[in-house]
Structures are given as structure tokens and as C-alpha cells.
Structure 1
Amino acid sequence: MSALQRKSTDKCQEVVSDLLRGSLTGLGDCSTMTTARYRPTWDLALDPLVSCKLCLGEYPVEQMTTIAQCQCVFCTLCLKQYVELLIKEGLETAISCPDAACPKQGHLQENEARAAGEVGFECSRVIECMVAAEIMQRYKKLQFEREVLLDPCRTWCPASTCQAVCQLQEMGLQTPQLVQCKACDTEFCSACKASWHPGQGCPETMPVTFLPGETSSSAFKLEGDDAPIKRCPRCKVHIERDEGCAQMMCKNCKHAFCWYCLESLDDDFLLIHYDKGPCRNKLGHSRASVIWHRTQVVGIFAGFGLLLLVASPFLLLATPFVLCCKCKCSKGDDDPLPT
């Protein structure tokens, strides 16, 4: 072996020895670097890499976050952006699993603790550590609003200047009852949220607007098409419309309805509602855009129908083979094992 080869071999052995001791010679003050801060290259190569379903990148386990309910794993950065987007948009208060094909449809809970050994968090709660303080405050506000909507014994004061939570009597939940807000003394009906109407039935559709500076007696003002704030016909949540299309969708219950007459548009894919009646030509779009929308909808349904028509002969031919395979498999399972 030549002198140059011996020198190179000795240098490699020295570097390996330094790496195993957790320090590198010739680095001066960095000689105290531990193996936890610096690991050999072959050690990093052996670390398992987990694929993120959102960005399709591969990261070490320490950079991933696991949802406890469904055990789906995503990189912490992608999950952080996903959680922030949902909270900012107010689409839902329960952070569902980002994987649309998740079999368990898990949710990221507010009190869910971070996994053991997970880095990048300074506290023990996943959502609280992911988002900023103001976003977390909005998340808790959305959660509280959702709890009030789902609680039959609580309701919101309909006055826009108040928005306090009022308690209902548990004995009379099945019938409309008088509710008086303790904060602003507004008296309203628990069923339709309109001003208290003893001896009268609740109107089915009531576009209501609330103006600043209203008193208890004038807290409710019925308007027509120009009402800036109305309630969803299904869940009674207040909705404000500044401008744009008259086809509205409630973020709370996903109910589609007409802004002017509050009629349901859930099954009106072609928007025929705006071709006749009092809402004729009030959609807010040009005639050309409406025709283009209807062409797209008809094209989608026609495409599915054509695909089904073309595939039906193949399905009929494949059905006997599938049934035969299933019969053979079931027969094989029923046969006793040889002794």
C-alpha cells in the first residue's frame, strides 16, 4: 500500500471515529456537538421517510403529524396550512381529515395531544400549536357558535347590536315560546326569531334585516328585496349579501336558496327559477353566462349517461364471470381442510 493510500485510509478512520463520538476534529468550539444534534450520513439514510398525502413529499417521522382518530399522517407544514385555511374561511368547526378517501373520516380534535417525540411544537395541543393566537380565538368562537346552534335550549338574540345567547325553557321546546334577551331586553319568538306574536303562527319565510340603534320594540324590520340581512330559511342563521348572484348558499347548513323569495334551489341545477315568476331575470348574471352554465350542467349529465350506455354491455358480459368467481371462492372456503 502506498503512502498516499495509507494516509487516506487513516483520515477516513479518523473521521469515522469522530462521527461515532459525536464530534468532529478541527471544529474548535463545535467539538461538544452531541450525536442528537449531528448524526452520521448512514444513520440518516436508514431513517424511515413517510409520504405526505397533501404535498406528496417524503419527510422524517419527526416532521409528521398523526390524526389520532384515523391514524392518517401528514407533514406538519401542510396540516398547519390546511387548518388555518379552514378556520379563516369558517367552513367547518370540526377539522376533518384532509384525505378525502379516509375510511374512518377522522377529525383533529382541539384537545388532541401531540404525539410523543414530535418536534416543532412548543405546547401539548396540536391545533393550538399550529395556528396563531388570533386564529385559535376565531376557531374557539366558531366552536361556540356551533354549540349554540346545536343546543335546543339556547339561541342567539336576533338583534344585530346584541348577539347575546339566550336560554330557553326546557318544558316548552316543542312549541314557540317568548324569549327575552337579558342583555338588550328584546322579546322574540323562539321558533322564527321574529318579534313575539302571541296567538299568531310563525311566517314560513320572513326576510328580516336588523339596523343599528334599534330598540326593543323596533328590533325587527321586515323588508323586501332590498333587505341587506336575511335569515337562512332552513337554519335561521343571519346572512348578509352585499352584491353579486342571487343564488345563495348558507355556510352553516349548505342550503341553496333564492335571495329574493327564499325559495329552495337545492334541486334547481339549471336555475329555471329565474326564468319565470317574480324573480325573473334577477339572478344577477348575463343571459349568455346562464346559457353557458346550463350547457355545462347538461353536458356533465349527458357524459355520465353516455358513459353508462357504452359500459353497460361490458358490465353485462362481465357479470357471469364475476358471479362464477365468487361461487368458486365461496365453495373453496366451505370445503373441509384435509387431515
Structure 2
Amino acid sequence: MASRSPSIHLEDRDPSPVMAAACAPSSQDVFCKLCLSLQPLEAINELEGCKCMFCTACLQQYVQLAVMEGGGAPITCPDMACPITGALLDSEIASLVAPYQVELYQRLKFERGVKLDPSKAWCPVLECQAVCSVQASTEGRPAAVACPACHTVFCSSCRGPWLEGHTCPEGQPMMLPLQSPGSSDPEESIKQCPMCGVYIERNQGCAQMLCKSCKHTFCWYCLQNLDGDIFLRHYDKGPCRNKLGHSRASVMWNRTQVVGILVGVSIIVLVTSPLLLLASPCILCCMCKPCSRKKKKKKRKRDPGLPEPPSSSSS
């Protein structure tokens, strides 16, 4: 008579080795700095410009938001600590968003390029809207521009009809003179952002500038990157020393506030870390399966009206 092998029930097994193997991170998992989690390698995209790696879902959301709110500005790496901060290629953008968003981005990018180029202007005739070439004029004075499509002649500054003895309305800003790229004359009141090229006017105040288009922080005088200079150390030495535009007491108060915030965050982390360590056994105990069974048995003893679980019989 052959002996029967004892049947093994799945519910009697210890699930901890299986769960540990399933939850253990793989050696090929990559940490995404946007969602702050480990993602499998097949769900990761690597940017060609800077080689930074993010999960595809996060990059899609980032690029979609940049297309809708960027106004055609270059879409750069989402990592603020990226040493290169390279721009995404058009092929990368096309692989992450829908075709209509790609078309929208290309149109906004073209319109932005025309707007930022002092040698180009839109024809003011609504039915035309052609791109016209603007001839360089001395001292930034307005000049006559002839549209190659509808042959309308208009002012390069106010976009009004160009007549003999034309003068622009009061308060109309003059046309920006053509500048060589990288110009950083300290006396200029209008400069281009060194990151995205948008024109920025500085009337007065602090020399630390924040571009509203790409959120890039830079020094007005030397155009140096100040994105990571939270203590404003750039104005302590070098050619821009004491050119911030604020008193020494104001700078020291700003540094004190930054240090206070960092110390406060550190204290919160130090205080909560031991509490989390002390509470971790209780959390693990609540998640433990044998403990949950004991709790159910105690509950049934207290309430005899609860039905008993079906007993499993082995053949």
C-alpha cells in the first residue's frame, strides 16, 4: 500500500521569503529623481544631452507641462542639479508627447524665435502675418519695414503705418539694437538671459536676477549662474564684490534665515528619526500575518456569534 504524501497548503507556508524576494530591488533598477522611487530599467529614459535618467511616466508629465507653459522655450533637463542642463532634442519630445502637442511646441518655438530675433518682425496685417526682415538701425531707432508678402510698409518699433516724418507714440519702447551674443556690458539696462535668451530689463534693485521664462538665476553684471548660491557668496569676492545692491546687514540677515531653515529641518529629521525607529517594530507587527490571525481568534472569542472559518481537511 503506497503511502500518501502529506498535502501542503499555501496558507500554512511562511510568506516572508517569497515577499522578500518580490520586494527586493533588482540590481538593474534605476532611481528616478522626479518620483523618488526605484524603477525597472525598461521603464527608464536616458536623455541624450546630459545622460540623466528618469522614468518614462515622469518625463511625459514634465514635457507636457513644459509644452503648455513654456511658451516655446527650450525644454531642459528636469534635474536642478544637472551639471550640463542640456535641452531635450525634438525627437525626444516627439517620443514623449502626443502629435498635437509636438505641433504646438514647434509653432510656439518658431514664434518665440521670431520675437527674440531683433532682425525679424511679424507683419501687423492680420490677414498676412508674414515674417519680415528688419534692417539694423543706428542707436536702436525705428526703421521702415516692407512686408515681402503684402508689401505693407510699417514701423519696426510700434508696428504702425510708416509715413514720411513718422514718430512712434509716447511711451513706446525703442527697437533693441543688434547685439553680439554673450554681451555683458554692466551699463546696459536690457540684457538677454544667458540660459534661454529672453530680454530682461533691470530698472533698479538687486543684481541677482531671476528669469521668468526659464526660472534661471544669474548675476546681472557677469551673467554667472547663481542657481545654487543660496548664501549669495558670489558677491563676497571677485569683480562683482559688493555689487548685489543690498546692505551688508541685509545680506547677513538673509544668510541667517537660510541657516535657520536648514537647522530647523535638521532638528525635525533628528527628532522624528528615533520615533520612527521605535515605532517600526509595532508597524511590522501589525503587518505580520500570524499576529493578524491571533487578533481574529481573540475577536471570535469575544463575539461568539461570528462564524467559524472553514477547516481544511487533508486526504
Q: What's the TM-score once normalised by structure 1's chain length?
A: 0.44
Q: What's the TM-score once normalised by structure 2's chain length?
A: 0.47
Structure with more contact order per residue of length (Cα contacts < 8 Å, sep ≥ 6)? 2
